[in-house]
Amino acid sequence: MEVAVLKETYPGEQRVALIPASIPKLEKSGFRVFIETGAGDAAGFADQLYVDAGAQVVDRSELANADVFLQVRSLGANTVEGRSDLDLLSQGKIVIGMCDPLGQPESIAEMASHGVTQFALEMVPRISRAQSMDVLSSMATIAGYRAVLLAAVELPQMFPMNMTAAGTLTPAQVFIIGAGVAGLQAIATARRLGAVVRAYDVRPAVKEQVESLGAKFVELDLDTGDAEDAGGYAKEMGDDFISLQQQKMAEVVAESDVVITTAAIPGREAPLLITTEAVRGMKPGSVIVDLAAERGGNSEPSRPDERVIESGVVVLGPTNLPSEIPNHASQMYSNNVARLLLEMVDEDQHLFLDLDDEIINGTLVAHEGVVVNHRVSDLLDATCEEVAGVANVDSQESVGVDDSLSSDKLGDEVTDHISDSVDMEDDSTHDTLPPDHDLDDKEVDESLTEDPSNVGDAEDSLRGIEDDDDVLPHDLSSVDDENDDTGEQDLIEDGLESDIEESQKLELMSDDLDDVEESHEDDQDGLSL
């Protein structure tokens, strides 16, 4: 079994999927490890360290024969350069990495179309046995720590209280929104730096965890009885709840020197918790670090990877903080991915995907050409329905741009134009017919409608005029077809041609009828239907 570790192509990504310390564990289970040249350089792991650990360092082109590919960001989490990896990923290859399956389901479908088996590390189930594989928790720990350091650098005051001969310096007031893994780590880090910390979460159950870290839990007068799903994640709340939450939270935000927001909902846009108006109520020089900026942000002024100043308040929207501490981030990621990979090895040291295993089944999103995760497939179905709906609306709007293209008006226009064309030459075409051949218009229309073959018979009869030099236009029957309801329907179903094309057709019809009129006048005695 061959495992290949690819060098990350996402702009600014410094992590590596596997560190040298994890290689002996994999080799013991029957894996041969290949590392792309320079894959670990940015994280502090030189090629020689991999060689010393037993791996082979090769160029990218030599990795194509591997069975399993390890990445930090695979297609989906790397929409910028991720498609360049598809050259290596032939049918049956296994890819393990973060791929944002709920945010970029189309990328999962693309991987499936290539026959690639994709494991999404974001989908590791929250069960005890899978804790050692929980990449989200690992990376959130680093993000929470780094967020506090960013805020400390930006804040124009120190975090801890200081009592000096020059006076007493009061501690910074830090408010953490969201008490998940990132929030709890932010609380712990801010407390170590000496700040006074308060925290809020819609899940009342986390109050004990917040207080155990030395922070004060902020309780807002809101109904939060249904704020947590079965997996322990925060659920999306209604608009009325969020509006009331914003109002009550603005008071706490105004009293804070630093606000760090970590509230996110898997597969959804982040809830807006801090409005621009609330930011304007903060003291100039205050700092907001929005860890949800990539998903729309918890703070209204925040922008992904930008430093925004709103009314003197610095608003940061970092999107890839773990990459800023690449050595430890890679160490944690490597341990997570190695543990998952070992779950795929049977007793005979062969790759085996036990689809009944809760971990394998939970993280597998594409297999044998099919998107197998129901949450991802549901998102794809919803996207298809939305696109179909938009296309249908656009189609209806394009038809409605000019009412002359509607079925009723189009039929009337054809009929009126034909009548006008005939009247220009004579009061009535039937006036040129011998009395014994004068048929009622209704009889002709009904006979043609009841039996479409009559159209052809009529055409053949009209072509049987005694004078062989005078031949009626071959499409005379089409004029009758377009006059009756069946002809109108056929015309509509053929796509409702443009106004210009319709005008040209009508002019041709008029010319045809002019020829017919002249022919009728010359051959009155020979015409029969």
- How confident is the model over 204-251, as pLDDT tens digits? 889 999 999 999 999 887 765 555 555 555 555 667 778 888 888 999
The CATH code that applies to domain 2-123+325-387 is 3.40.50.720
Distance, in Å, from the CA atom of 131 to the CA atom of 133, rounded to the nearest integer, reads: 5
Give the start-to-end residue ranges of the domains of the chain. Answer: 2-123+325-387, 142-324, 403-526
pLDDT tens digits, 3-19: 999 999 999 999 999 99
Q: Among 141-150, 464-473, 516-525, name the one with the lowest average pLDDT.
A: 464-473
Please state, in angstroms and rounded to a whole number, the distance separating the CA atoms of residues 146 and 74.
24
Residues 458-499 pLDDT 10s: 444 444 444 444 433 444 344 344 444 444 444 444 544 445
CATH of 142-324, one of 3.40.50.1100, 2.60.260.20, 3.40.50.10490, 3.40.50.720: 3.40.50.720
Query: 106 and 382 in contact (C-beta within 8 Å)?
Result: no
Q: Which residues pair with 2 in a beta bridge?
A: 32
Query: In angstroms, what CA-CA distances link 520 with 426, 430, 454?
Result: 11, 9, 20
Is the pLDDT assigned to residue 94 strictly greater than 80?
yes
Structure-token pair, residue 210: 């917040």
Distance between CA atoms of residues 16 and 334, nearest Å: 8
> In this predicted model, what pLDDT tens digit does every residue of 360-380 receive, in sequence order?
999 999 999 999 999 999 999
Q: Please write the tens of the pLDDT for every residue from 307-338.
A: 999 999 999 999 999 999 999 999 999 999 99
252, pLDDT greater than 70? yes
Burial of 222 (0-12, 13-18, 19+ CB in 10 A): middle
pLDDT at position 85:
86
pLDDT band at 501 (very low <50, low <70, confident <90, very high): low
Give me the active site residues, please: 126, 131, 134, 137, 233
pTM higher than the cut 0.75: no
pLDDT at residue 504, as a whole number:
55
Q: What single-letter DSSP state applies at residue 392?
A: H
Same fold, 2-123+325-387 and 142-324: yes
Q: What is the pLDDT of residues 383-442, one digit of tens each?
A: 776 655 555 545 554 444 444 434 444 344 444 444 444 344 444 444 434 444 444 444
Place of tokens 């004579």: 426
